[in-house]
Amino acid sequence: MQFTCDIFHPNIYPDGRVCISILHAPGVDPTGYETSAERWSPVQSIEKILISVISMLAEPNDESAANVNAAKMWREDREQFERIADNLVRQTLCLPTNTSE
């Protein structure tokens, strides 16, 4: 799964690919971070995958970051993180960006 617009999020790679366990290839995680039950399998429904992605968007996992800069900012400067994320959404929708500091 990949976003086609710019998005600033700890669990989304700069190229838009989503980093979430349920989308990872089946099998054993070489890092030992995920169980095989958390990874993709044919029994995962589209509904379950979408709910997982929505949950990830609402509650980032900054311990398993795909975008290290976003994760660091999420932890250390939430206001700046939200401003950057908001401005990217506004640019995508062709709305004026928030330039206030």
- Give catalytic residues, as residue numbers: 19
What tokens appear for 2 in the block?
């990949």
Q: Say whether 2 sits in a helix, a strand or coil.
A: strand
Residue 24: what residue type?
A: H
The span from the CA of 64 to the CA of 19, in Å, is 8
Spatial CA neighbour of 31 closest among 43, 21, 41: 21
Residue 60: what residue type?
A: P
The span from the CA of 14 to the CA of 25, in Å, is 20
